């Protein structure tokens, strides 16, 4: 997972947790609001109605007792006093009627609220109405008897019923109030529980939010820091010269960086091997060049001495001596050829480019090569002219012809073909030898590699170096053994591997051992 995706995922999870907390708080807050709204719209108006009914019942009771006292006083009052009593009686009767009206209104409101909001709950409406009617009947009866001059015993007998009716209406209203108060208490408990649960939920969610935030951040930092630490160790190891790889899997930016570092490590490893090889080749080249030059002079002396001895001793030389002289001559020739291979490979002189015919160069190479009688060479039927160093190409073809001669066992043929391909001239040399081992096919142009028991392993490497310096390329194939050389018709040169390896390396001074051997 990419780092940007990880950070985006962290933000999404954190926002989701915040949204969850907000949603829970919003839902619970809405429930609290709805509960208080229900309390305000239902329970409180019911309590107000019950309170109003109880006050009305109290008003009726107190006004009734006041009227009874005024009626008692009106029996002895005269004149102005009587008029005042009668006026007060009218006021008390009005207050009783007003209390009755207030009770009826409150009772009607109470009944409607209970029927609408609590249709399945016992509202005590019938009991309240019954007790209220009992109170009003007793009150009216007492007032009527008192007005008609009833005796005190009659009023006293009804007074007990009046107080009982008053107590009954108060009791039923108080009972209903207590039931409604219980609903209020339940609502309060529900609200308290809701608030407590909301607080607990928010607390838990916030803790989960914090834990999730820290966990996600830890995992993201770990997924970044661990690979970076591994990359740091890898780069330090590479800096010491050990070109290891991370082999890190993934599709994030750090994995891509790790793959780039692995690729860089591979390239540095190849470059390091190339540098080591080039330094070795440079050292070998310098040493081989000096040794080759040192050996050529003694070999020339030996060769000339053998020729002189053959001329002088020819009349008296027996077959055994002649055979031994021939062996010496072949050994000198073989050593001379190997020395030439070394000098051809390490010789990095500039090409002398001129226009030449390829068929002419091939013929010249054949003439300069000792070809056994059992091997026939077929010259190309056509030719092509290119800009080249004829001497260098003669070395190439001579090397290839010698290799083919050594590979052919018994009679055989070597055939040359030349044809054009766009801006290139193609030279093919085919021989009837057994072919090149498949295991060696990819290495035959490498320096110091050889499949022969004797030889330097520089012949084909020298050929490749010369061809590439001309801007061409050389390839080999089997069935039959064929070497294909592609050379540009126009001048197109480049540096050889040996030149690239040695151009920035200063020649080393001969060691004391070398100097001693040279002086010797």
> Nearest 5°: CA angle at 333, between 331 and 334?
65
Q: Classify each residue of 71-103 as buried b or exposed e, where b means 16 or more C-beta atoms within 10 Å of its C-beta.
A: beebeeeeeeeeeebeebbeebeebbeebbebb
Query: What is the pLDDT at residue 509?
Result: 39
For 500, list phi and psi in degrees, rounded to 5.
Answer: -65, -35
- The count of C-alpha atoms lying within 13 angstroms of the C-alpha of 239, restricted to the half-sphere facing its C-beta, is 6
Instruction: Please state, in angstroms and rounded to a whole number, the distance separating the CA atoms of residues 336 and 292.
Output: 9
Residues 6+ apart with CB under 8 A from 270: none
Whether residue 150 is preceded by a cis peptide bond, meaning omega within 30 degrees of 0, is no
Q: What is the CATH number of domain 351-495?
A: 3.30.565.10
Q: Classify each residue of 16-49 as buried b or exposed e, where b means 16 or more C-beta atoms within 10 Å of its C-beta.
A: ebeeebeebeeebeebeeeeeeebeebbebbbeb
Query: What is the pLDDT at residue 363?
Result: 93
Query: What is the pLDDT at residue 512?
Result: 31
Instruction: Please state, in angstroms and rounded to a whole number, the distance separating the CA atoms of residues 147 and 72.
Output: 9
**Cα–Cα separations (whole angstroms), residue 261 to 3, 230, 251, 253, 519:** 19, 11, 15, 12, 53
Query: What is the pLDDT at residue 344?
Result: 62
Best CA proximity match to 100, nearest among 144, 53, 138, 67 = 53
Four-CA torsion 356, 360, 362, 363, nearest 10 degrees: -160
Query: What is the pLDDT at residue 428?
Result: 95
Contact 372/404 with Cβ under 8 angstroms? no
Token pair of 454 as six digits:
């004797």
Query: What is the pLDDT at residue 323?
Result: 77
Q: 507 by DSSP, 3-state: which?
A: coil
Specify the CATH class of 3-215 in words. Answer: mainly alpha
Four-CA torsion 416, 421, 425, 430, nearest 10 degrees: -20
Question: What is the pTM assigned to this prediction?
Answer: 0.41
Query: What is the pLDDT at residue 514?
Result: 29
Residues 6+ apart with CB under 8 A from 1: 9, 223, 250, 251, 252
How many residues can be counted in the chain? 520
Residue 364: burial class (beta carbons within 10 Å; 0-12, 13-18, 19+): middle
Instruction: Please state, in angstroms and rounded to a whole number, the distance separating the CA atoms of residues 10 and 17.
Output: 11
- Residue 32 CA to its chain's centroid (Å): 46
> Nearest 5°: CA angle at 246, between 243 and 249?
155
pLDDT by 10s per residue, the chain, length 520:
666 776 777 788 778 777 777 777 777 777 776 766 666 666 778 888 888 888 988 888 888 888 778 777 777 767 777 788 778 878 888 888 898 899 889 888 888 888 877 777 777 888 888 888 888 888 888 778 777 766 656 666 677 788 888 888 888 888 888 877 776 677 677 777 777 777 787 788 778 878 877 887 788 777 778 878 888 888 888 888 787 877 777 777 777 788 888 888 888 888 888 788 777 767 766 776 777 777 777 878 888 887 888 777 777 777 777 778 778 877 777 677 667 666 666 665 678 889 999 999 999 999 888 888 899 999 999 989 999 999 889 989 998 998 899 888 889 999 999 999 888 999 999 999 888 888 888 888 887 667 665 556 677 888 888 898 899 999 999 889 999 999 998 865 555 554 555 554 444 433 332 222 233 2
For 338, list phi and psi in degrees, rounded to 5.
Answer: -65, -40
Query: What is the pLDDT at residue 416?
Result: 95
């Amino acid at each position: 997972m990419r780092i940007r995706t990880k950070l985006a995922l962290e933000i999404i999870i954190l926002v989701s947790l915040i949204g969850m907390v907000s949603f829970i708080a919003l839902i619970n807050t809405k429930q609290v609001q709805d509960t208080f709204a229900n309390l305000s719209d239902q329970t409180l108006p019911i309590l107000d109605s019950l309170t109003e009914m109880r006050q009305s019942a109290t008003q009726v009771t107190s006004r009734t007792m006041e009227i009874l006292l005024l009626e008692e006083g009106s029996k002895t009052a005269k004149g102005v006093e009587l008029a005042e009593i009668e006026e007060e009686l009218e006021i008390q009767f009005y207050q009783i009627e007003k209390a009755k009206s207030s009770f009826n209104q409150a009772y009607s409101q109470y009944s409607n609220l209970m029927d609408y909001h609590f249709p399945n709950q016992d509202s005590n409406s019938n009991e309240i109405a019954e007790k209220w009617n009992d109170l009003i009947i007793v009150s009216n009866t007492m007032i009527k008897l008192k007005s008609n001059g009833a005796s005190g015993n009659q009023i006293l007998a009804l007074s007990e019923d009046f107080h009982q009716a008053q107590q009954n209406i108060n009791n039923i209203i108080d009972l209903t109030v207590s039931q409604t108060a219980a609903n209020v208490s339940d609502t309060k408990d529900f609200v308290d529980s809701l608030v407590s649960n909301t607080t607990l939920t928010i607390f838990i969610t916030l803790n989960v939010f914090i834990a999730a935030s820290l966990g996600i951040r830890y995992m993201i930092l770990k997924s970044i820091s661990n690979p970076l630490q591994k990359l740091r160790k890898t780069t330090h190891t590479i800096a010491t010269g050990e070109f290891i790889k991370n082999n890190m899997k993934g599709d994030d930016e750090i994995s891509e960086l790790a793959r780039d570092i692995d690729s860089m490590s591979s390239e540095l490893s190849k470059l390091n091997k190339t540098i080591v090889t080039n330094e070795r080749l440079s050292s070998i080249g310098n040493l081989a060049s000096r040794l080759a030059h040192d050996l050529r002079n003694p070999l020339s002396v030996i060769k000339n001495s053998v020729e002189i001895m053959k001329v002088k001793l020819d009349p008296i030389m027996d077959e055994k001596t002649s055979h031994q002289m021939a062996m010496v001559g072949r050994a000198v020739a073989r050593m001379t050829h190997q020395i030439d291979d070394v000098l051809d490979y390490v010789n990095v002189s500039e090409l002398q480019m001129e226009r030449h015919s390829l068929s002419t160069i091939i013929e010249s190479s054949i003439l300069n090569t000792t070809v056994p009688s059992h091997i026939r060479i077929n010259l190309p039927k056509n030719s092509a002219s290119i800009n080249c160093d004829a001497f260098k190409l003669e070395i190439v073809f001579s090397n290839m012809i010698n290799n083919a001669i050594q590979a052919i066992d018994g009679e055989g043929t070597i055939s040359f073909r030349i044809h054009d391909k766009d801006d290139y001239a193609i030279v093919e040399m085919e021989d009837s030898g057994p072919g090149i081992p498949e295991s060696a096919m990819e290495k035959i142009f490498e320096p110091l590699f050889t499949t022969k028991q004797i030889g330097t392993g520089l012949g084909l490497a020298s050929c490749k170096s010369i061809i590439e310096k001309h801007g061409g390329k050389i390839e080999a194939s089997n069935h039959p053994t064929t070497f294909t050389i592609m050379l540009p018709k126009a001048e197109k040169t480049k540096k050889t591997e040996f030149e690239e390896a040695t151009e920035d390396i200063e020649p080393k001074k001969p060691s004391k051992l070398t100097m001693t051997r040279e002086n010797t």
